[in-house]
Structure 1
């Protein structure tokens, strides 16, 4: 790193890849934890001698300090390459410790895994955090794991697979097995992935009981009176269409004549259909399928529609990045929806929902990012 690059960093301030320390921490472990978190994320730079307000305070640099820095780095396991540079700015000395995203994740300090959560260093303490960390490290994506109970000869839905090929505009001239391998839907020896089962099993719920959508129509604005309750099963493509159909059937329609001379009438749903398309695809593609006791819920009240799915915001995306950056828990499932043109530009779904509600003169959708992910669309005031 040169002095010009450091000046830019100081101007930008702290963030996901940048951390400032006013002085050398008294405990080496604290320094090691910060660097460990960068290695487990996308890499980053720890700057010592700058406070949280981007003001240069400076630090003393001598052989004792250099030795302590190396001792801190040695606390990280497995061994990690960290580049240490010293710079003088405004007559004061600054130390920079930079590392890339490690290729031997997870990196630990005293047996603990540390990650970046937005601009902060955070120790992984929950099973959910642990699972998501390994998912983002390409270790245990649910849809990429193999479903050993699935039988290609007995359970594979060839009829829907042919329909998928048409929708995805994929030539069916190649042998079926070759197509499956090219689409990365199976591994060797007829081992099929969970994502393949979710899309192409004749009976998805035979393997994953939790992979359903429950749609409930309530009277009023709370859960006291249920007017209708429907469980939607089948493959994910079928679930998407059936859930969308259910929502539309329970909302109000108005009609608009497209010309003053009695042209064809245009149906207008009270809440734009596109927001439900986006919300359902997001729920099916991003939900946590490891959560066996939970399913996607669609709840329709007199004043709103709520769609919830298991699993909060993907751990490596901060709240500030929500709607700006996309990262799927189930990249195989997401890719299959994308091939069928049900997903547009990656990361643009949240913006489309917000824009559609704004154009319909309705309140902006409300998102809950903690624990169970939820989006609420408010109906027009009667």
Structure 2
């Protein structure tokens, strides 16, 4: 690792994959806690001889070799780290000072230090004690798709086979030609869709979790995944509770339809032309959000999935088998199938498109719907947020209908102007709080101003994109700097 790379790391500060330790009096327990949390998450780089803010103090050069030996001895001792690991610390020189760098790769196992499991959350090492959290860590480490789990005692009569005629018609309409399902018996269709299979490790045969979730009767689903639920909430007026709510515990086919109906009930649908065809922006956006949360959910988790419509945004959340913690953009999009059997079934009946197309569609059509981009956050909880309100963009061949009356146009223009004015006042208020309290987190700013945290997060991101706001130091001990 060269000096330029080190300089960049120290300037950026601590992250989910970077940790600094002073180690002024030798290696202490918190170093091994970080090693444990890196192993349990996505790996990372540990630097000894560096303060939390990235200042390099260094360690005594004569002590470096002994520190490395002690470190290797400790991580190889099952009384301390379980399971043990083999890591190679590197003694480096940076601006005349000695530091130790350890690269920790992600592990395929769940590790504990002194019988305590640690996980990496943002730039902190967190003790994990709750059974559900520990279970989620094991799910993340699995190299199999849990949708393939075989349930040998599930029978055909436990499934909603009455849905198959309609699903055949949907598949044919979606393909635009005679679909293979039309010439199959029910049993052949289920096998063709990989809903009935064989576990090549145990030899068990039967219906799998994908079959249970897609076509299972409600009592079967509750027996197999008792925590399964999708909570649809409208929170415009009564934000502390809800204005409308639907708790959905049925199969994924009908869950999709009920969630789409919830969106139609509570969301406006702006007039939109693409070329010479009218399209429903509401249907496009809710389809992608709802299909994503149903297709890519980790169904063995107890986390309750949500579809929430608020005044300024709507979002979905679901348990996820994360491969990274990141904000997903079009530039770093790497489609990663979580439940390929369920995804394929949804594509056949027209509820979803090819992997990755949903993200691109949401980025494209969200701009038309609200004038702003959606947010995708990958982690143990996967989240898609789409802004609501604001000014829509007029891009390409998209135009407002010429049949709209002058009164409607005037009213719409005034509404958009008011929205822009309100936003600017809120942004100025956010900037004022930052000037007075540069160490405040985004959530603290939101609480002080009484604004939605997602709205404040959006304002922070826009200020950073425009070069008006910068972050110095780590997320815990850093501060915000406004460029006047």
- TM-score w.r.t. length of structure 1: 0.71
2:210 matches 1:195:
yes
Q: Is the 8 A contact 2:229 2:304 kept in 1?
A: no
The equivalent of 1:239 in structure 2 is 255
Give the C-alpha shift of residue 375 in structure 1. 4.3
SS in structure 2 at match of 1:115? strand
Q: Displacement of 1:236 after TM fit?
A: 1.4
Query: Deviations 1:246-275 (Å, cap 9, x if unpaired)?
Result: 53355555667999xxxx8x5565x54322
1: distance between equivalents of 2:88 and 2:195? 40
Q: Which moved more, 1:177-186 or 1:189-198?
A: 177-186
- Tell me which residue corresponds to 2:470: none
* Contact 2:196 2:206 (8 Å CA) reproduced: no
The 1:228/1:9 distance shift into structure 2, 3 A limit, reads closer
Cα drift, residue 304 of structure 1? 6.4
Residue 221 of structure 2 is aligned to residue 207 of structure 1: yes
CA RMSD in angstroms, aligned pairs only:
4.8
Q: 1:55 to 1:140 in 2, by over 3 A?
A: same
Match among 360, 368, 372 for residue 359 of structure 1: 368
Residue number in structure 1 paired with 2:446: none
SS at match of 2:207: coil
Aligned to 2:129: 125
Provide Cα deviations, 1:167-217, integer angstroms capped at 9, x if missing partner: 69996799949956967855343233322211133x245323765656677
Asked whether 1:58 is paired with 2:67, we answer no
How much has 1:130 moved relative to structure 2? 1.5
> Is 1:336 the equivalent of 2:344?
yes
SS of residue in 2 equivalent to 1:159: helix
Match of 2:285 in 1: 275
- How far 1:138 sits from its partner (Å)? 0.8
Is 1:321 the counterpart of 2:327? The answer is yes
Unaligned 5+ segments in structure 2 are: 391-411, 416-484
Structure 2 CA distance for partners of 1:85 and 1:297, relative to 1, 3 Å: closer
Deviation at 1:38, TM superposition (A): 2.0
Alpha-carbon distance between aligned partners in 2 of 1:224 and 1:56, rounded to the nearest angstrom: 46
Relative distance call for 1:304 and 1:237 in structure 2 (3 A) is: farther
1:338, CA displacement in angstroms? 6.9
CA deviation after TM superposition for structure 1 residue 134, in Å: 1.0
- Residues in 2 aligned to 1:81 and 1:163: alpha-carbon distance in whole angstroms: 56
Question: Judging changes above 3 Å, is the alpha-carbon distance between structure 1 residues 351 and 339 closer, same or farther for their aligned structure 2 residues?
Answer: closer
Change (3 A) 1:326 1:289: farther
Q: Hey, what's the Cα distance between the residues in 2 that align with 1:378 and 1:137? A: 36
The question of 1:68 aligning with 2:70 is answered yes
1:65-104 paired onto structure 2 within 5 Å: 65-73=67-75, 74=77, 75-103=80-108
Please tell me whether residue 8 in structure 1 is matched to residue 9 in structure 2.
no
Q: Which moved more, 1:172-181 or 1:38-47?
A: 172-181
Question: 1:84 deviation in Å?
Answer: 1.9
TM-score by length of 2: 0.58
Pick closer, same or farther for the CA change 1:268–1:207 going to 2, 3 Å.
closer
Q: Which runs of 5+ in 1 are unaligned?
A: none
Alignment of 1:142-291 (within 5 A): 143-147=147-151, 149-152=153-156, 155=159, 157=161, 159=164, 176=188, 179=191, 186-187=198-199, 188-201=203-216, 203-208=217-222, 211=228, 221-222=237-238, 234-248=250-264, 251-252=267-268, 267=278, 269=280, 272-287=282-297, 289=299
Q: Distance in 2 between matches of 1:217 and 1:34?
A: 40
Whether contact under 8 Å (2:366, 2:374) holds in the other structure is: yes
Deviation at 1:231, TM superposition (A): 6.4
Q: Distance in 2 between matches of 1:228 and 1:90?
A: 61
For 1:363 and 1:120, the matched residues in 2 are separated by 31
Moved more, 68-77 or 358-367: 358-367
CA distance in 1, matches of 2:33, 2:274: 63
SS in 2 for 1:51: coil
In structure 2, how many angstroms separate the alpha carbons of the residues matched to 1:331 and 1:147?
Answer: 17
Shift of 1:110: 0.7
Distance 1:163 1:344 in 2: 20
Matched with 1:111 is: 115
1-structure distance, mates of 2:242, 2:92? 67
CA distance in 2, matches of 1:30, 1:226: 43
Aligned pair in 2 of structure 1 residues 213, 43: CA closer, same or farther (>3 Å)? closer
Residues in 2 aligned to 1:256 and 1:177: alpha-carbon distance in whole angstroms = 38
Q: Decide whether the 8 Å contact of 2:17 with 2:44 is kept in 1.
A: yes
Structure number with the higher helix fraction is 2
* CA pair 16-9 structure 1, distance change in 2 beyond 3 A: farther
Instruction: Look up the match of 2:397.
Output: none
Deviations 1:142-169 (A, max 9, x none): 5344445521465374937867986699
Go from structure 1 to structure 2 and tell me whether the alpha carbon gap of 1:126 and 1:54 turns closer, same or farther (over 3 Å shift).
same
